[in-house]
Structure 1
């Protein structure tokens, strides 16, 4: 659905180009959440929004999305494996939020193609 599309490759490239942000010291978020927690929360929020916005999706489409999201989370956790447990900084959380929004955009585009 999206992981086999060029946009997903660009997203992974975008993340790897910004990996240095995860090695820089910064002020941890006040709530003290880790990079992994922020990643899971932000992606989950966007996927919930996606499914809420696209009421026309059938159960098999939703299942396909969940499987793809599992694969995406695996890929991102692999790339960020050395920093997943570290406390996230505001800059890292902002980048993760941007990535989560881009993931949602990839799915929005895929759903539009699917429904045509």
Structure 2
């Protein structure tokens, strides 16, 4: 649906280009959540919103989305493995929010093509 598309490759490349942001020491946010937790939460929020907005999706499509999100999480864990357990900074959270929105946009586009 999305992980085999050029847009996803660009997203991974974008994340890789910003690795320095994740490797920098910074001031953690007050809640002290780790990068891994923030990534999971933000992507989950966007996928829940996606499924809520696209009520026309059949169960098979929702299952496919969940499988792909699992793959996306695996890819992100691979790219960010060395920093996942560090407390997140505000700048890192901002980038994670942007990436989560980009993931949702990839799925929105795929769903639009699916429903054509």
Shift of 1:23: 1.0
* d(CA) in 2 for partners of 1:23, 1:45: 25
TM-score by length of 1: 0.99
Deviation beyond 6 Å, 4+ runs, structure 1: none
Aligned partner of 1:45 in structure 2 is 45
Shift of 1:60: 0.3
- Asked if 1:101 corresponds to 2:91, the answer is no
Aligned partner of 2:81 in structure 1 is 81
Q: Structure 1 stretches of 5 or more lacking a match?
A: none
Aligned partner of 2:30 in structure 1 is 30
TM-score by length of 2: 0.99
Other structure's SS at 2:52 match: helix
Aligned residue pairs: how many?
Answer: 116
* d(CA) in 1 for partners of 2:53, 2:62: 12
* d(CA) in 1 for partners of 2:2, 2:23: 29
CA RMSD of the aligned region, Å? 0.3
Q: Structure 2 stretches of 5 or more lacking a match?
A: none
Superimposed CA distance per residue, residues 80-116 of structure 1 (whole angstroms, 9 cap, x where no aligned partner): 0000000000000000000000000000000000000
Aligned partner of 2:113 in structure 1 is 113
